[in-house]
């Protein structure tokens, strides 16, 4: 599970990611705050090393439009491509995870581990 740390507690912008220790909620030994806060930092971590699909995040680029090239957990969530959303903006509401329709403020209302 995602643990007890909810996303709304760290905000929606990239700079706030440093406030959460991902390794504490099952992401493995690689902690996000240890690789930086900017978008460029995403390319420095290989997700497949922390129990993710064979497709590494660092191989899909550094911008938001490249998110659509990766499938989460190898189950292919291409139907809700990440390229349709932008980090740190209200456009997150345009993506429906697991059939759940997200509103512009949905991130502040639901914790990931409950999804």
Place of tokens 């922390």: 50
- pLDDT at position 85 is 35
- pLDDT at position 10 is 37
- pLDDT at position 115 is 31
For the segment 61-86, what is each residue's pLDDT rounded down to a tens digit?
333 333 333 333 333 333 333 333 33
Q: How far apart are CA 16 and CA 86, in angstroms?
A: 15
The residue extents of the domains of the chain are 7-114
- Where residue 95 falls among pLDDT bands split at 50, 70, 90? very low
Q: How far apart are CA 81 and CA 72, in angstroms?
A: 10
Q: Which residue(s) pair with 113 in the sheet? A: none
For the segment 16-59, what is each residue's pLDDT rounded down to a tens digit?
333 333 333 333 333 333 333 333 233 333 333 333 332 333 33
As to burial, measured by CB atoms within 10 angstroms (0-12 exposed, 13-18 middle, 19+ buried), residue 39 is: middle
0.85 exceeded by the pTM? Answer: no
Residue 8 to residues 28, 29, 55: CA-CA distances in angstroms?
Answer: 21, 23, 27
- pLDDT at position 33 is 33
């Amino acid at each position: 599970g995602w643990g007890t740390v909810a996303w709304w507690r760290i905000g929606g912008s990239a700079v706030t990611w440093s406030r959460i220790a991902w390794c504490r909620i099952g992401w493995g030994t690689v902690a996000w705050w240890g690789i930086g806060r900017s978008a460029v930092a995403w390319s420095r971590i290989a997700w497949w090393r922390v129990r993710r699909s064979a497709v590494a995040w660092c191989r899909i680029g550094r911008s938001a439009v490249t998110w659509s090239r990766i499938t989460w957990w190898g189950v292919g969530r291409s139907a809700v491509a990440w390229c349709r959303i932008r980090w740190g903006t209200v456009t997150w509401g345009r993506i429906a995870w697991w059939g759940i329709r997200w509103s512009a403020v949905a991130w502040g209302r639901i914790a990931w581990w409950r999804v």
